């Protein structure tokens, strides 16, 4: 006999009496019950709750009549690949919306006076993205099982409110000007080989190599994070520290020379940003990238911090069922969003007047 892999589903925990069952209403469920006809329906004949029963009868009960009477301790064996397995998973994924436990709580706890700290922004970003992921997931579930749509809708409305509060909490800690400056930094062409290198002479590698490395780190930091141009400076300095290692001689001079170079790079980025601060903004619709669960159950965000910041700050509308967001952004910000392409652009037009 072929053995088939079985899933063991705690149906009594998954299907509360109010969950619409749609196509699964008539599904016969094999149940055990005390011969008295009283008490709950069980998935296992040896459930502890049946121990005192005079005798145990097995019967097939349509799922629609069974819900509300199911033992919450028992698991029902269901063959892998049976549509009920996927439906049960889908309904389970809605549990956070049904309990509201996570999103009715206030924002993540933060130390007083540290509201602008990196930790606070990180906490708010994670909270916003997690709530967003729950809402997007619920729309995917409702699309797959349309009879759930009406039932889940009031929960989605309430969660959408929480997502938007979380977004605004996060946007409060971000600065549009910083996001624009760093988008402009990301757009600048690399300095020509040899440019600025004579002032920056490292112990081993040549000065121009150090300049190229420092530039790459400065630009990468600007392009992906939300710390602004000065965070880019720290990333560039780290290159000099690493190149010198334990050697102190000449390091201070190299850092001073680098500082002047970074002043110039920052100046170029700010000058570009100034050109774009008042010109028409671009309208852009992008898809929300999902949070990905890694094999050890950690969340991995495909959005860089800079991208998350841009979405939070420049959002003008959001379409949950389509999983997309409308933005109105300065040109260099739009360019940088599209350049990195962790965000799929759905639509774009250039016809919007400035802010
Ligand atoms: Zn039981």
The residue that leads in pLDDT, 90 or 95, is 90
Predicted pLDDT of residue 107: 53
From first CA to last CA, the distance across the chain in angstroms is 71
CA of 82 to the centre of ligand 1 (A): 22
| 184-201 burial code (b ≥16 CB/10 A, e <16) | bbbbeeebeeeebbeebe
CA of 146 to the centre of ligand 1 (A): 31
pLDDT-above-70 percentage for the chain: 88
What gap in Å lies between CA 314 and CA 333, rounded to an integer? 10
CA of 75 to the centre of ligand 1 (A): 8
Predicted pLDDT of residue 105: 55
CA of 33 to the centre of ligand 1 (A): 9
CA of 77 to the centre of ligand 1 (A): 13
**pLDDT-based confidence at 355, cuts 50/70/90?**
very low
DSSP state of 335: H
**Helix, strand and coil in the chain, % to nearest 5:** 50, 15, 35
- Give pLDDT tens digits for 117-133: 778 889 999 999 999 99
Query: Has residue 264 got a pLDDT over 50?
Result: yes
Rg (CA), the chain: 28
CA of 25 to the centre of ligand 1 (A): 21
Contact 292, 300 (CB under 8 A): yes
Tokens of 343: 């965000």
CA of 70 to the centre of ligand 1 (A): 8
Q: Which residues contact 135 (CB under 8 A, 6 or more apart)?
A: 97, 156, 159, 160, 163, 320
Torsion region of 112: left, alpha or beta (phi above 0 gives left; psi -120 to 50 gives alpha) = beta
Query: Where in the chain does DSSP place strands (E)?
Result: 6-9, 28-34, 56-62, 76-79, 282-287, 291-293, 299-301, 315-319, 324-329, 345-349
Say whether 102 sits in a helix, a strand or coil: helix
User: Nearest 5°: CA angle at 352, between 347 and 355?
Assistant: 125
Lowest mean pLDDT among 9-13, 185-189, 224-228, 241-245: 241-245
CA of 148 to the centre of ligand 1 (A): 27
Query: Has residue 13 got a pLDDT over 70?
Result: yes
- Give pLDDT tens digits for 306-320: 999 999 999 999 999
Q: What is the mean pLDDT of the chain?
A: 87
Q: In what order do the strands lie in the sheet with 324-329?
A: 315-319, 324-329, 282-287, 345-349
- Give pLDDT tens digits for 222-235: 999 999 999 999 99
């Amino acid at each position: 006999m072929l053995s088939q892999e079985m899933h063991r589903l705690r149906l009594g925990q998954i299907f509360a009496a109010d969950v619409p069952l749609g196509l699964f209403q008539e599904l016969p469920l094999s149940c055990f019950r005390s011969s008295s006809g009283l008490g709950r329906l069980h998935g296992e004949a040896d459930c502890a709750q049946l121990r005192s029963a005079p005798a145990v009868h097995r019967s097939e009960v349509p799922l629609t009549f069974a819900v509300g009477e199911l033992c919450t301790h028992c698991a029902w064996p269901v063959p892998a690949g049976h549509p009920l397995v996927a439906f049960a998973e889908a309904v389970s994924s809605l549990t956070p919306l049904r309990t509201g436990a996570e999103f009715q709580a206030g924002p993540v706890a933060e130390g007083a006076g540290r509201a602008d700290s990196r930790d606070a922004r990180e906490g708010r970003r994670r909270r916003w993205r997690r709530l967003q992921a729950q809402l997007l997931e619920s729309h995917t579930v409702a699309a797959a099982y349309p009879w759930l749509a009406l039932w889940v809708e009031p929960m989605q409305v309430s969660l959408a409110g929480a997502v938007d509060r979380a977004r605004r909490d996060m946007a409060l800690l971000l600065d549009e000007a910083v996001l624009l400056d760093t988008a402009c930094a990301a757009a600048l062409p690399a300095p020509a080989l040899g440019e600025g290198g004579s002032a920056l002479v490292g112990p081993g590698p040549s000065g121009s190599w150090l300049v190229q490395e420092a530039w790459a780190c400065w630009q990468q930091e600007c392009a992906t994070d939300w710390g602004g141009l000065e965070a880019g400076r720290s990333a560039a300095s780290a290159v000099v520290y690493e190149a010198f290692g334990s050697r102190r001689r000449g390091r201070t001079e190299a850092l001073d020379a680098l500082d002047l170079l970074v002043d110039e790079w920052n100046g170029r980025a700010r000058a570009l940003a100034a050109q774009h601060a008042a010109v028409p903004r671009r309208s852009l619709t992008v898809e929300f990238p999902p949070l990905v669960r890694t094999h050890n159950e950690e969340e991995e965000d495909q959005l860089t911090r800079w991208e998350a910041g841009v979405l939070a700050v420049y959002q003008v509308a959001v379409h949950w069922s389509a999983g997309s967001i409308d933005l109105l952004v300065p040109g260099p910000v739009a360019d940088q969003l599209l350049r990195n392409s962790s965000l799929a652009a759905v639509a774009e037009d250039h016809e919007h007047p400035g802010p």
